[in-house]
Each structure stands twice: as C-alpha cells, then as structure tokens.
Amino acid sequence: MHMQHVRWRIAIPYIVLVCLVVLTLALITGQLLRQSALAQEKEELLLQASVLARDVREPLAEGDVATLGSLAAEYAEILGARLTIVAADGRVLADTQNTPLTMQNHLYRPEIQQAQATGQGTAVRNSDTLDVAMIYAAVRVDAPPSQSADGSSAGQALGYVRVAVPERDLSEQLGELRRTLVTVAVVAALFALALAVVIAESTSRPIRRLSAYVRRLAQGELDQPVLPTSTDEVGQLTADTMEMARRLRDTIASLNAERAQLSAVLDQMADAVLLTDREGAVILLNPAAQTLLHTSQEASLGRSFTQVVRQHELSAVWSAARDAHEQRAEVVDLGEQLWQVIVRPLDAVEPGACLVLLQDLTPLRRFEGLRREFVSNISHELRTPLASLRALADTLHDSALDDRPAAERFLGRMDDEIDALTQMVEELLELSRIESGRVPIRLERIAVAAFVEPAVERLRPQAERAQLNVQLDLPATLPAVLGDEQRLQQVVTNLVHNAIKFTPAGGAIRVTARTEGDQVVVSVSDTGIGIPAEAQARIFERFYKADRSRSSGGTGLGLAIAKHIVLAHGGRIWVESVEGQGSRFSFTVQAAPRSKAV
C-alpha cells in the first residue's frame, strides 16, 4: 500500500516533467514553425507583388483602370490570391474580390504605409473589407527612370500593388505539421511514462523487499533468507538491517542459553527459591520450593506470597524485609518442621520485589536429635558397668577384703566389667574410625573361605558351650572376592556372635555363601528368638537393642560396625527374620574379576 506511494512519488514528477517539456517544446516549435512559414509566405507574396508591379507600372502611369483590372484578375487567377492595385493617393483602382469604387481609401493600411516608406510592406490582420484574417504584401510601384527625363514624375510613387491570401490557408498547412508534432509529443510522453514506471519500480522493489523483511522481523521471524544487497543506499540499509537481525538472533540465543542455565541451576537447587514482584505476587518458584510448600507452578504463579506459603511466620519475615528494604534471615520453627528463611529485597530490579530463600533444617534437627540420643545412650551404657564396679569396689572395701575367696570372686567380676567397658570403648573408637573413613579398606583378591572359616572356627567352642550346632557350608564353585580380609572377618564374627547370643540351647547356626551376579552373598542363619518386624529396620543403628530386657550384655554397636564395613566395601547388609523362629543376616561382597581364579 505505502510502497505504491513510493513508486508513484518517484514516477509522477518524472511524468509531469516530461509532459511539461514536451508540451513547451511543442508550443515553441509550433510558434517557430508558424513564424517561419509566415515569413516565407510574406516573402513569396512580396515576390509575386513585385512581378505584378513591373507589369502594372505602365497602365498605372497612364491611369488605365481597365487594364489594371484585367491584369489583377489574370494574376489572381494564376496565384490563387486576392490582388489589389492602389493609386498613390490611396484610391483602390482594382481589386479581385471587391468593386473598387465601394472600397475605402487604402493609403493608411499598414502594409501600404510600409510600402510607401520602404518600397514594400507586409501585414497580418483582419481585412476591413472582407472581415477575415489575411496576410498582406504590398509593393510600391515607382515611376520608371525614363520618365524622370521629362521631369514629370521621376522617383515618384505611381501606386501600390498588393497581394493577399487568407491566413487560414497557412493555418491549414501548419495544422498538419502541428498534429504530427503532437503525436510525437504524446508518444514521447508515453515512453517517458513507461520509463518512469520502470525506474520507479526498480528503485522501490528493494525497499519493498526490505520492508517485508522488517515486518516479518517484527513478528519474530529471525531466520529469514538473505536478501540481495547492492552498493547503493538501499543496499547498505538492507545489509545493516540483516546485520541487526543477526545480532538480534545472537543476543536472543545467548539470552536463551543464559536463561536455560539459570533455570537449570534453579531446578537443581536443593534450597527453595521464590521471587515476588512489587505487588507481592509470586512470579517464580523452583521445584524445591514447590516440594517444600506442597504446591505447583500453576497453583502459585500470580498469587500472593502469603497465599502460597500459608505460614504466618514466613509471611511476617517477608513483609518485614519488604517494608524495611533490607535483608532478613530467620529460623522459623513450624512445630513439625524447622525452616531457615532469607528474604532479600530486589529493589534494584524492581522496587518492592523480593528474593526468598527457604531451607529445610528439619533433617539437621533430626541429626541433632540423633547426636543427643547417642550421647545419652553412651552415658547410659557406661554408667551400668561403672555402677556395678562402684558397688563391687564398695563391698570389697567394707567387708570382703578379709574374706579372701569372696574378694577374689569380686575381683573376677570387676575384671569382667572392666573387660566389657574396654570392649565398648574399643568398639566405639572402631566405629568412629570406620565412620569417618580413617580405617583404610584395602581391597584384595581373597577367597570367601579366607574370612568366613577363621571367624566361624574361633567362635565354635563358644557355640558348643551354648549347645549350638554350627554348620559351615561354602560351595566349591565360589569365585574369589575383592575385600579386606581382616574387616570381613570382623563382620562374620559379629554376625555369628549375635547368632550364638540370641539362640537358645539346642539350636543351629548355619553359615553359607552363594553367587549372585557379580557378587557373593554371605548369610548367617540361626534358629533363635528372631527380631520383631518394627525393630528390623533399626538394629543396624548404633546402640540399638531390640529387646533391652533380654539383652545379653552387648553394646548395640556390633551391627553398626558390620554395616559400615560392608558399606565401605560397596556392598549391602540386611536381615530377614521371623520372631520366635530365627533370623538370617546377609551381606554382599563384590566378586573379583574372573580371569585370575583362586
């Protein structure tokens, strides 16, 4: 639409200019042509008049009007013109179109006046007699020089001969010429018009193309085919526009990449992040925030912070930071949960906007609780043997010193308590060392029997004393494993020791191993008291004892140590148990690569 305007804005001045020039040229040429034709005609008429003048000199001198009349008629016939013969005083002596007697005196006709003065004269004017535009040419007829001899009329004007033709004749001739001229002018104008349109079209086409390109650009089409560029201004503009589009594309791409990075960071963050705008509406919340607040993007975006968090304490911190325009960090206790909330106003980004960071401190509190429980457990475990030591020492002090056998018995029991204490402290140290990774686990290629057999054999006497049947059953096809022999022995010892402790006399203990994929599973089963289902998940915690009343003087650390050793080997440990029927403890060890069989 607008491009049409440009095309015509270029074309119309061309067309107007061409038309003006052609028109002016036609007018001027017409005028010049007319003038030259007129001049030629006058010249011709003068010539004709001069010829007649020679012939009429004699009759004019003699005043022979009849001869003059016939001469005039004769010439008029030949020339196709009007002929008038005027006497020196202006009387019309002959005229081929009028009766001379009825005609006015012609002395003051301009052509006659001119002829009187210079010998010849011309004029273009309306004939007073005929009332049509005529071209006149008059010649003075002078007395012949011979007459001057008798002095009568030498050098004197005898009269005037005038030839006239209607101007219309000339106009008709010129009309033809003028029509040709107009035709040429029109054709030239049409050519100019076509040329103007072509030039305008070729000038405006790149502009139109560029305009369409920019329009699509504005609609977000950044990947358009390259436009042809020339070296002129429009070409330069086109090149600049394409460069601008390319920069725009690059900028948008890098912005997108940055945004993707940012949102990846936000998505992966463990802490909850929220953004609120100046109205206090939530405009961003990451997945961690959705989980912590039990909400979704759809349910939260655009809603007020207070509505989204649904926690008065949190809203209070947020409003306080917003109103004060300064960062607030607080730990908010929500009963079940403990949250750290940090609100940072983002006034630089948008006045009133805030960044909210939420951290769930609940696991930390649980950890803190565990630590406290551990300290109280340890105190309790230490107090029991210490209390009996105290009692034994007191009794020894008061009375038993004199009674030597009693004293020895007391000392023996004190030894036992000290052994128990020592073992507990050692196990604790051991556990802490394993937990903190200070015990290096040296993975070596070892046979399963290498760590199972010594452990079982060492405890066999104890089992026999407790009247338990211990059975060791290792298939010959077992692959070697990758493990620390000493540590794995410790695991098996702990498990077998527990089985002995928690199995009543007459029971059986069975130690087996089997291959499962690229792992070896070692199991210790017993026919003992079993473990209640609710306790099964907790027995691997330190100090945990399923049934304190029946506890056989253990520390509750054995399984925790076993678990840590197995985990350090990259394996896992678990229990299957039915209360009253028995338990089966199993753990896995990585099999050694097959190539070097042991």
The dihedral over CA atoms of 487, 488, 490, 496, expressed in degrees to the nearest 10, equals: 170
Contact 490, 566 (CB under 8 A): no
Contact 488, 589 (CB under 8 A): yes
Specify the residue, 344 or 510, whose C-beta has the smaller distance to ligand ADP.
510
What's the number of CA atoms in the CB half-sphere (13 Å) around residue 364?
9
The verdict on 556 binding ligand ADP (CB under 6 A) reads: yes
The verdict on 526 binding ligand ADP (CB under 6 A) reads: yes
State the minimum distance, in angstroms, from the CB of residue 518 to ligand ADP. Answer: 28
State the minimum distance, in angstroms, from the CB of residue 526 to ligand ADP. Answer: 5
Q: Which of 200, 358, 499, 511 binds ligand ADP (CB under 6 A)?
A: 499
Q: Which of 434, 529, 591, 592 binds ligand ADP (CB under 6 A)?
A: 529
Q: Which of 230, 256, 471, 551 binds ligand ADP (CB under 6 A)?
A: 551
Q: Which of 555, 566, 568, 588 binds ligand ADP (CB under 6 A)?
A: 555
State the minimum distance, in angstroms, from the CB of residue 309 to ligand ADP. Answer: 43
Q: Which of 114, 135, 137, 138 is nearest to 126 (CA)?
A: 135
Specify the residue, 252 or 425, whose C-beta has the smaller distance to ligand ADP.
425
3-state secondary structure of 161: strand
Q: Find the part of the chain contacting ligand ADP (CB under 6 A) among 163-171, 266-274, 456-464, 548-556.
A: 548-556
State the minimum distance, in angstroms, from the CB of residue 516 to ligand ADP. Answer: 22
Specify the residue, 434 or 591, whose C-beta has the smaller distance to ligand ADP.
434
Q: How far is residue 87 from each of residues 56, 140, 296, 358, 464, measured CA to CA in Å?
A: 11, 10, 128, 134, 186
Specify the residue, 117 or 537, whose C-beta has the smaller distance to ligand ADP.
537
3-state secondary structure of 319: helix
The verdict on 507 binding ligand ADP (CB under 6 A) reads: no
Phi and psi dihedrals of 127, rounded to 5? -75, 125
For residues 442 and 560, give the distance between their C-alpha atoms in angstroms, rounded to a whole number. Answer: 20
State the minimum distance, in angstroms, from the CB of residue 509 to ligand ADP. Answer: 9
- What tokens appear for 455 in the block? 């452990």
Q: Which of 210, 470, 531, 568 binds ligand ADP (CB under 6 A)?
A: 531
Number of residues that bind ligand ADP (CB under 6 A): 23
DSSP β-bridge partners for residue 521: 514, 588
Specify the residue, 11 or 546, whose C-beta has the smaller distance to ligand ADP.
546
Residue 403's CB is within 10 A of a number of other CB atoms, namely 12
Specify the residue, 100 or 530, whose C-beta has the smaller distance to ligand ADP.
530
DSSP letter for each residue of 195-231: HHHHHHHHHHHHHHHHHHHHHHHHTT---PPPPP--S
For ligand ADP, the binding residues (CB under 6 A) are: 494, 498-499, 502, 526, 528-531, 539, 544-547, 551, 554-560, 583
